[in-house]
Amino acid sequence: MDDAHRAFLDDLLATSSPSGYEVPGQRVWVDYVAEFADEVRTDEYGNAVAVHDGSDDCDTSIAFTGHGDEIGFIVREVTDDGFLRIGRVGGSDKTVAQGQHVTVHTDDGPVPGVIGQMAIHLRDGDDDDAPEIAEQHVDIGVADGDDAADLVEVGDPVTFEQRVRELEDGRLTARGMDNRVGIWAAAEGLRRAVEAGAEATVYAVSTVQEEVGLQGARMVGFDLNPDAVIACDVTHATDSPGVPGKKSTGVELGEGPVVARGSANHPALVAAVRDVADERDVDVQLQATGSRTGTDADAFYVARGGTPTLSLGLPNRYMHTPVEVIEADDLDAMADLLGAVGARAESFAPFDVGL
């Protein structure tokens, strides 16, 4: 990953975009893809689509998608004593929330705060269970409710304060890898397909509100109507201590992107991606998703009567925490794989099961 492409990833990670409040992150993404796309369009809720038109004599189209939103919190009450009661946005984890620095994103700018954690000295020694998110609070340092109300409003989104750090062996940690890496890969996959002279029409898509029910994918899946969709998201790397054996998938950091099989994942598209991976010498891992993928793929594959879809995952440790960990080489390999698939998309069409 060269400096320019890493800077794009860092910009995405530095921009808070909780579900329903994705505009700042979507602007970063749109500005980047506009440099090489033939067209970039957005809809009323902020879904963004970049288009490579392809050649006039090729009628195949393929979309690379990721979701631009992240989990977070929302201000649900300003108390009389100046604290903020919060609610979940998506699958926020109550066990990692307390004791964290946060930012409240207001119309007038960011307001710093912390999610309070009672000192260990004051807690009942037998009570180490984390309270529900609804029982936790943000402290922004004010004296009373009037002062708090001058700064924040009910409905303002809240995210953990961002910090991107490099670990050893090319690994990166940050909040919101889920799913900045997916929209990074979709954009880079488009760019690499364009550079390879793709004959097919290739779309890169950054959807909104995946974390609250795949809502953006439902909108885009109806409107776009491509021949195939590759939904790029994170998937659990289960190679760290403490993962229960019954939930282990064998997915590891550093072993390449993950091709899902089962449920939403169309067998012809699975085969096409695996063939390209073999040709390009890109290592991929396999994952079983017998009932659902838990990604935008679950919405795209039933759109318009059925759209051949694949969930392509990036191994990610500690999902939905402020310290998600990925390996940069896996991410670069994902983008390379997408670009190569886009460059050859017409050779795999039509995507059907051969009945």
- Annotated binding residue 211: yes
Q: Is 277 left (phi over 0), alpha (psi -120 to 50) or beta?
A: alpha
Nearest to 259 by CA among 249, 248, 245: 249
Please tell me which residue in 210, 255, 324, 327 is annotated as part of the active site. Answer: 210
- Annotated binding residue 233: yes
| R_g over Cα of the chain | 21
- Dist. CA 256–CA 285, nearest whole Å: 6
Could you count the other beta carbons within 10 Å of the beta carbon of residue 94?
A: 15
Could you count the other beta carbons within 10 Å of the beta carbon of residue 302?
A: 14
- Dist. CA 158–CA 83, nearest whole Å: 13
- H-type helices in 34-169, by residue range? 94-97, 145-149
**What are the phi and psi torsion angles at 28 (to 5°)?**
-60, -45
Q: How far is CA 95 from CA 90, 130, 132, 133, 294, in A?
A: 15, 5, 9, 9, 21
- The continuous run of DSSP H or E covering 11 comes out as helix 3-14
- Annotated binding residue 67: yes
For the question of residue 210 being annotated catalytic, the response is: yes
- Both tokens of 229, joined, read 């969709």
Residue ranges for the known binding site for Zn(2+) are: 67, 178, 211, 233, 320
Residue ranges for the known binding site are: 67, 178, 211, 233, 320
**Residues annotated catalytic, as ranges:** 210
